[in-house]
Structure 1
């Protein structure tokens, strides 16, 4: 998007207006609480509208999943921010070297100005309101770019933000790739992007031109490691729940399973039982979410077929006719075993209900597999042996870890959420989100009784003696 285009000019004008509002007065505690209360109303007062909007975006979006994975965690984050805001905002004392006593030091959190938030289509409510909660709690204004693949959710959020917060606080932008490109080029005071690693690189490159700091929430292939001898039935139920929530269209969904070869048959049988119990039917099941559009469905089908052609064993856990499933834009949980390493399903983030299974003989073999790949956004481990758990945590690095379950670490608002390496950078949620969207201003307060005059020029014997004493005491 070239500078000077109508879209770019309109977005820059919106940003300039928000910057003017941000420059007039720093929002106090009462103002921020009012903003957060507005966010709360956006969730609590419009649940039916959100359910309808998301269902329209996906073609079939489970109403339970919308409440469970979008509205509930968004509301939890807002509630935590409202309870903790006064404590987060207070200046925090810092120590002062004894050589500078009785001076004092503190850190004051200050708003940055205007934050930009680029929201993906897979969880458009949670992944819009989560970072927006952090930005508003920190006292910023914000602009949000919603995905063109979730237009109904984007239009609803724009309308509700204008109603409950006002255009002087938040502006929601909808549109296609041209709008997204122009949005990423704006000189925000901080930019948070959630999406693919490929697009994340482009966002970071665009932000660099403005020296805009970025938080990137990306994805990657999240491994699920099952230690030898673990209750595979329990693990299978968690795998099915985590993999099939939103039909696998989740950045922290288990991407593939690593398990001991001796447990393979029992695990596969347990996954079959768990999948059929959770979703006895798919095509006409309102609780089983559709793939977002035909393009993504065709991508998943192509990766499945590619693995089969390369010699993988492929098993779809569904007895329904393919025609009815394709018409509903749905795909069953599909197990893929013995796929070669260069198959697309083994190289790329799947973002759908395909589940590769890899067997290992020794635990360190599985750890070596994880270490050979880019650092994931999430690592799942099923194990009850404390020493072995500690060994896995020491041997791997991930954005977050969940032990003996899937996904739930993301909705713990007092834990930071963020990636590492190829899965992202920076954190938000809870206090870490408040800090991300704040400038932690260091303040040093000098005392009238300060002795620092002894170190000022002209330098004589006194300062030379002091320096010998000061340097000699540092250990």
Structure 2
């Protein structure tokens, strides 16, 4: 097992210094130049596809097809979307002129924030650092990337790829653990983009505040699934289990827990079991050998999830199916828990694993009450064929994003913003939202030099000036 070596503090400071200078060059780049850089990033990813497969396989047994689906495809798709729309995004945007500013014209210009820091997570260690990078490049910034030390093969590969595609004064990779992250966060970047846990997100925001650095925080939380009486249970079960088990449950928008009417529980479990058998085979004993099923990232997280299961069972929960664990392989099988109560630890923290607790309710009102008692989630999923039920749930809940009759898939639309609310995140990205996250919206007003209504309101305020101000005030 390879490890990540911490980048020297002096090297970090030298990279930062060079990028602070080079941002002045990038500030004047046009759409053609930026699109060429995005194309270069796209091509290097295509060139290294097989090695990306290998790195993710080494880090946590991820299947090559799942790497294509969740790491490479969405990144390439975002890059191509940016290339297609960049000229429009960069164009100054004219805005309306109020009557009090007759004779002027106003516009919004998008300028690069400057030198940016992107800190990536371990769960999708390629996609969740390269997609923010492409947004930073599209907006005309320099970028320092800090991949997760928990996925060392992917971290090393990203560094190699970036070194081949870019000069370090434009894009550089800094490797290391939390000490390196702390050194980076002490520097006065122009923007910080962080993806990770809410607890670390608070640390990032606190350190950024010392230099008044704006931040985008992509965090997480307990994303609920609500099934209505009107739902197609077979369809819902298959989509929920796919979303839950993708990347072995280590997805920030994975369905964390299920809220379902009491009378539907048994049917749901039957359909869920059928879906999991379709995914990974009918014999649960053979699941550890299935090459399509990933592993928990490391021993520490394996033990954390095992404790959540054990605590739930001690307090009265039951395993509906699954529950097989192999510590030496960091393997936890697809698992559904029933008879779950709020006092169990599994209902107190984000699970981040392939375990789905089932909570029963008697009404949609009770379902809403259970969701709204918690912090605002990164995602909320609704399964219902009743339009009335869907609208009721959308109006009475809060979430960073929502998919109706599906899970995860709202992330695949680059025309939708992706981000959380409060503890689940701050700011959003994807598509144009990513471009804006790394841009400063500069307000520009062009005044008429021949006649300006503003001059009619200059002091002294006795006479005409005071009359004009009084008239305008009455209009409003």
TM-score normalised per structure 1: 0.95
Q: Do the aligned partners of 1:41 and 1:164 also contact (CA within 8 Å) in 2?
A: no
- Deviates further, 140-149 or 21-30: 21-30
1:45 to 47, 72, 80: 47
Aligned to 1:226: 227
Aligned length: 465
1 CA distance for matches of 2:7 and 2:240? 47
Which residue of 2 is the match for residue 100 of structure 1? 101
2:293 matches 1:277: no
Q: Contact between 2:120 and 2:194, CA under 8 Å: does it hold in 1?
A: yes
Q: For structure 1, which runs of at least 5 residues remain unmatched after alignment?
A: none
Residue in 2 that maps onto 1:441: 442
Do 2:136 and 2:435's aligned partners in 1 also have CA atoms closer than 8 Å? Answer: yes
| SS of corresponding position for 1:158 | helix
1:464 aligned partner? 466
| Match in the other structure for 1:329 | 330
Return 5+ residue gaps in structure 2 as ranges. 1-5
Note if contact 1:261-1:361 (Cα within 8 Å) is conserved in structure 2.
yes
Separation in 2, partners of 1:158, 1:364: 50
Q: Is the 8 A contact 2:224 2:255 kept in 1?
A: yes
**8 Å contact kept, 1:118–1:144:** yes
Q: Which residue of 2 aligns with 1:75?
A: 76
Asked if 1:294 corresponds to 2:299, the answer is yes
Give runs of aligned pairs for residues 209-220 of structure 1, distance below 5 A.
209-220=210-221
Superposed, which structure 2 residues align to 1:11-410 within 5 Å? 11-26=12-27, 27-58=29-60, 60-280=61-281, 281-317=286-322, 325-410=326-411
Deviation at 1:339, TM superposition (A): 2.6
User: 1:130-154 CA deviation, whole Å, 9 max, x = no partner?
Assistant: 1111111010010111111111111
Q: What is the rounded CA distance, in whole Å, between the counterparts of 1:354 and 1:185 in structure 2?
A: 37
Distance in 1 separating the partners of 2:240 and 2:316: 24
Q: CA RMSD in A?
A: 1.5
Structure 1 residues 310 and 184, CA gap change in structure 2 (3 angstroms): same
**Does the CA contact (< 8 Å) of 1:103 and 1:450 recur in 2?**
no
**Distance in structure 2 (CA, Å) of the matches to 1:112 and 1:186:** 15
Q: Which moved more, 1:293-302 or 1:186-195?
A: 293-302
Q: In the alignment, is the contact (CA less than 8 A) between 2:7 and 2:175 conserved in 1? A: no
Q: Deviations over 1:431-468 (max 9, x none)?
A: 11111111111111111232333222333421122223
- Determine the structure 2 residue equivalent to 1:473: 475
Q: How much does 1:45 deviate? A: 1.4
What is the SS of the residue equivalent to 1:107?
strand
Secondary structure of 2:276's aligned partner: helix
Q: C-alpha separation between the residues in 1 aligned to 2:456 and 2:115?
A: 44
CA distance in 2, matches of 1:328, 1:430: 38
Cα shift readout 1:66-104 (whole Å, capped 9, x = no counterpart): 000110000110010000000000000011222222211
CA distance in 1, matches of 2:186, 2:270: 50
CA distance in 1, matches of 2:242, 2:25: 48
Secondary structure at 1:282 match in 2: helix
Matches of 1:153 and 1:415, distance apart in 2: 28
- Aligned to 2:289, the other structure's residue is in SS state coil
Q: Is the 8 A contact 1:276 1:317 kept in 2?
A: no
Aligned counterpart, 2:3: none
- For 1:173 and 1:256, the matched residues in 2 are separated by 36
Secondary structure in structure 1 of the residue aligned to 2:443:
strand
CA deviation string 1:153-198 (max 9, x = no partner):
1111111111112212111111112112212222111101111111
Query: Secondary structure at the residue paired with 2:208?
Result: helix
State the alpha-carbon separation in 1 of the partners of residues 261 and 340 from structure 2: 17
Larger CA deviation: 174-183 vs 64-73: 174-183
In structure 2, the residue matched to 1:427 is: 428
Helix, strand or coil at the partner of 1:171: strand
The aligned counterpart of 2:419 is 418
Quote the offset at 1:305 in angstroms: 1.1
Cα deviation, residue 6, structure 1 = 8.5
**1:231-263 CA distances to partner (integer Å, 9 max, x unpaired)?**
111110001100110000000000000011111
Task: Give distance in 1, aligned partners of 2:179 and 2:462.
Answer: 66
Contact 1:257 1:358 in 2 (8 A): yes
Q: Is the 8 A contact 2:7 2:180 kept in 1?
A: no
Counterpart CA distance in 1 for 2:386 and 2:238 is: 20
CA distance in 1, matches of 2:81, 2:132: 13
